Structure 1
Amino acid sequence: MQPSFKLDSALSRGMLDVLIKAGLIAALVIFSFQVFQPFQELMIWSVILAVTLYPLQRWLKVRTGLKDGHVATLIVLFVLLVLLAPIYLLAINIGDSLDSVVTLLKSDTLSIPAPPESVATWPLIGPRLYAAWQSVSGGLSQVAQHLLPYLKGTGRVLLGAAASAGGAFLLFIAAVIISGIIMAFGENGERAAQRIAIRVSNVERGKHIATLCTATIRAVAQGVIGIAFIQMLLIGVGFVVKGVPGAGILAIAILILGIAQAPATLITLPVIAYVLSTEGFTAATITFAIYTFIAGLADNVLKPLLLGRGVDVPMPVVLIGALGGMVVKGIIGLFIGPVILAVAYNLFWQWVDQQEPESASESPE
């Protein structure tokens, strides 16, 4: 009885030690995550930018012979100079568009005409359409009173979207700067990523997983988000220079369509028709129409150059990542979501494919 009692006592002490250690580790992990959580989005975006721009870092280092820190600084300054001016113009235009809408609503200078009597005679929808039209006819203030219960929720959504866009703009600047710091220590970071992947898996699979994650991030960031972003800048700056109403909002819509792999001509063609119909056929409007039409087709030239570099990510995965990311994290989720979901998708199928040889070897002959 005594040896058995000692054995049970030793097992109890061992179990207690394991539980205490596990509890301490769990508390440390939870506390560390809470401390890191405010910087989570910033660091994810910074890593995505650093991984995407690192091939340029290597290329410039070989060509110029400069140190890693100097090359990273040049890349950060170039990105900020090239992107900040167009993004600033679009942001200012979005603010001006919202101010114009508010001014128009306050002035009550526009009105919705009363419906013609013939509308009531239309089959099926005529009477209901006539009644709804009649209820909102008049000045915009009267219309706003009818729609006030619905406008409150819409206004909150618009204000939230505007705040999210402003926060994403500032976060983007900080992410570009931090990505330069990461690129300055790129070789150490690459070795660290491989060590972590090897520790999670094994030597062969670990290196392959690290390579797969890097290739997926670059493929999605360059081939999907990068193309949509470039196209937004090309078309959006043209809208701002021409003075198209709501140019900034239209540019954001083009960005969303680009990430969703929808053609930008869904927006550019109506805008071209609007400009030509309101301003006529002049040298300026024709030049704008040609430029906008070509910029709307720029993705057809950029996709073969930047997309599909050995990484197969279905477009529904990218679309779900973009829309889901935007719902969860706002504007910044529109960029981060597709990358994270694409990496998870490829890692999942990599795990699935690793089971096939084992299953085949265990099958009876």
Structure 2
Amino acid sequence: MNDKPFLAFNSAHELLDVLIRAGLITVLVISCYEIFRPFLNLVLWSIILAITLYPLNQRLAAHLGNRSGWAAIVLVILGLLCLMVPLSLLGGSIVDSVQAGIQSAEAGQFEIPAPPASVESWPLIGSPLYQIWLHASQDLSWAFQQLLPHLKDWSKIALQQAAGITAGIVIFVLALIVAGVIMAHGAAGQRTAVNIASRISTPTKGPHMATLCTATIRAVAQGVVGIAFIQMLLIGIGLVVMGVPAAGVISLVVLLLGIMQLPVLLVTIPVVIYVFAQFGVSASTIIFAIWTMIAGLSDNVLKPLLLGRGVAVPMPVVLIGALGGMVTSGIIGLFIGPVILAVGYELFMNWVYPSAREPEIPAELLPGD
């Protein structure tokens, strides 16, 4: 008796079953993603914050009798205070400035001060800038007529950006709260991450991949947020010492530009020009200009030192991942890009050198128990 038709029928039937199951699983995955997509940024930010703050949570829990839950609550409260206090001060400063401008306009006291005579002696831009500034100070209506067409376009962009910033702040606050819940169950979350990585790769490589992702996220947090904070501190000190108005607001803008990986010179150059225009050329203004420029360019030195620190992949891989992720996915890509590129680099090198020993990661960057 010939069994080949029967075997062929069974093979075709089994193949059909596999295709149907794969199709149903694909539909299920797509449906789950569509339902989960509105919360994707919130969850990603929560995981990033939890991984970044977890070592601090563990140290604080050790002082609270190994109570990770209480330590997470304390960190969330401190984080909310650190976020809300500057935002409230910034909002109050903006409201006061707008109210003062409205009152000056209603009273007819709004005017543009005349430029200092030293502006005209500046190289290249001094003479045309002086003439435009002088004309605007003598004829305020002319200045409004020149600026009004540009203000209409920029106002729309400003409103869109303000709405985006407001939504980002709300997401960040919610993510900080969710991160506190994740940190309170950090040990279980660590085991889950290792199990997921082990299922994706192998049981022997899974813990290494999970630790690599954790170390990369923390390194990027130090290399991006840490450098932005250092720049804000350095520039803020110079602004306060020099007596520049709205030093706190300018420092906050510097912090945001640093996190967004935009050049801080966008802020420092106009500030230096303003200082020279107001105080003239002197030893103090020259020192301030040099200090501000060095602080604005300090990320070029600090980034190679901090961005790839403690990660078992070359620093250029992390740096390219951060910059590329920022271009493709915004601020969240700063963290996702390096992780994806680091894991891809590790998998590629393990394929090239299958018998090589896996690189070790420093103990301080290993997930806590």
Per the normalisation by structure 1, the TM-score is 0.70
Counterparts of 2:208 and 2:187 in 1: how far apart (Å)? Answer: 17
Superposed displacement of residue 61, structure 1: 1.6
Amino acid in the other structure paired with 2:17: D
Trace 1:71-150 onto structure 2 (pairs within 5 A): 71-91=71-91, 93=93, 139-144=142-147, 147=149
From 322, 325, 333, give the equivalent of 1:337.
333
Say which SS state the counterpart of residue 204 (structure 2) adopts.
Answer: helix
8 Å contact from structure 1 (residues 219, 306) kept in 2: yes
* 1:363 corresponds to: none
Amino acid in the other structure paired with 2:41: E
- For structure 1, which segment, 349-358 or 295-304, has the greater mean C-alpha deviation from structure 2 after superposition? 295-304
* 1:68 corresponds to: 68
Counterparts of 1:30 and 1:90 in 2: how far apart (Å)? Answer: 42
8 Å contact from structure 1 (residues 265, 296) kept in 2: no
Superposed displacement of residue 142, structure 1: 3.2
Identity of aligned residues (%): 39
Please tell me whether residue 321 in structure 1 is matched to residue 322 in structure 2.
no
- For structure 1, which segment, 8-17 or 346-355, has the greater mean C-alpha deviation from structure 2 after superposition? 8-17
8 Å contact from structure 2 (residues 61, 70) kept in 1: no
Trace 1:285-304 onto structure 2 (pairs within 5 A): 296=295
* 2:309 corresponds to: 309
Q: Residues 120-140 of structure 1, C-alpha deviation per residue, up to 9 Å, x if partnerless? A: xxxxxxxxxxxxxxxxx9724
**Cα separation, partners in 2 of 1:44 and 1:359, compared to 1, 3 Å:** same
* 1:221 corresponds to: 221
Counterparts of 1:222 and 1:138 in 2: how far apart (Å)? Answer: 49
Amino acid in the other structure paired with 1:339: F
Superposed displacement of residue 5, structure 1: 3.3
Please tell me whether residue 202 in structure 1 is matched to residue 202 in structure 2.
yes
Counterparts of 1:34 and 1:225 in 2: how far apart (Å)? Answer: 31
Superposed displacement of residue 100, structure 1: 8.4
**Cα separation, partners in 2 of 1:220 and 1:298, compared to 1, 3 Å:** same
Trace 1:236-255 onto structure 2 (pairs within 5 A): 244=245, 248=249, 251-255=252-256
Q: Residues 153-200 of structure 1, C-alpha deviation per residue, up to 9 Å, x if partnerless? A: 544332221111011111111111110000000000000000000111
Name structure 2 gaps, 5 residues minimum: 113-139, 357-369
Per the normalisation by structure 2, the TM-score is 0.70
Say which SS state the counterpart of residue 181 (structure 1) adopts.
Answer: helix
* 1:172 corresponds to: 172
* 1:49 corresponds to: 49
* 2:135 corresponds to: none
8 Å contact from structure 2 (residues 244, 275) kept in 1: no
Amino acid in the other structure paired with 2:8: D
Superposed displacement of residue 261, structure 1: 7.9
8 Å contact from structure 2 (residues 321, 339) kept in 1: no
Say which SS state the counterpart of residue 205 (structure 2) adopts.
Answer: helix
Q: Residues 52-103 of structure 1, C-alpha deviation per residue, up to 9 Å, x if partnerless? A: 0000111112223141111110111111112321133335556777888999
8 Å contact from structure 2 (residues 265, 296) kept in 1: yes
Say which SS state the counterpart of residue 353 (structure 2) adopts.
Answer: helix
Name structure 1 gaps, 5 residues minimum: 112-136, 326-332, 361-365
- For structure 1, which segment, 187-196 or 88-97, has the greater mean C-alpha deviation from structure 2 after superposition? 88-97
Counterparts of 1:144 and 1:99 in 2: how far apart (Å)? Answer: 21
- For structure 1, which segment, 242-251 or 46-55, has the greater mean C-alpha deviation from structure 2 after superposition? 242-251
* 2:261 corresponds to: 260
Superposed displacement of residue 339, structure 1: 0.7
8 Å contact from structure 2 (residues 90, 249) kept in 1: yes
Counterparts of 1:305 and 1:15 in 2: how far apart (Å)? Answer: 54
Counterparts of 2:83 and 2:337 in 1: how far apart (Å)? Answer: 26
* 1:357 corresponds to: 353
* 1:330 corresponds to: none
8 Å contact from structure 1 (residues 57, 183) kept in 2: yes
8 Å contact from structure 1 (residues 89, 240) kept in 2: no
Please tell me whether residue 346 in structure 1 is matched to residue 346 in structure 2.
no
Counterparts of 2:340 and 2:143 in 1: how far apart (Å)? Answer: 49
Structural RMSD (CA): 4.5
Please tell me whether residue 159 in structure 1 is matched to residue 159 in structure 2.
yes
Q: Residues 249-291 of structure 1, C-alpha deviation per residue, up to 9 Å, x if partnerless? A: 77335532465385x466346525625753799xxx99xx79x
* 2:28 corresponds to: 28
8 Å contact from structure 1 (residues 87, 233) kept in 2: no
Amino acid in the other structure paired with 1:50: A
Counterparts of 1:237 and 1:160 in 2: how far apart (Å)? Answer: 31
* 1:181 corresponds to: 181
- For structure 1, which segment, 85-94 or 35-44, has the greater mean C-alpha deviation from structure 2 after superposition? 85-94
Say which SS state the counterpart of residue 204 (structure 1) adopts.
Answer: coil
Counterparts of 1:100 and 1:321 in 2: how far apart (Å)? Answer: 41
**Cα separation, partners in 2 of 1:319 and 1:244, compared to 1, 3 Å:** farther
**Cα separation, partners in 2 of 1:187 and 1:138, compared to 1, 3 Å:** same
Amino acid in the other structure paired with 2:146: V
Counterparts of 2:17 and 2:306 in 1: how far apart (Å)? Answer: 54
Counterparts of 2:226 and 2:18 in 1: how far apart (Å)? Answer: 48
8 Å contact from structure 1 (residues 94, 246) kept in 2: no
Superposed displacement of residue 31, structure 1: 1.1
**Cα separation, partners in 2 of 1:175 and 1:72, compared to 1, 3 Å:** same
Amino acid in the other structure paired with 1:139: W
Say which SS state the counterpart of residue 245 (structure 2) adopts.
Answer: coil
Counterparts of 2:99 and 2:8 in 1: how far apart (Å)? Answer: 76
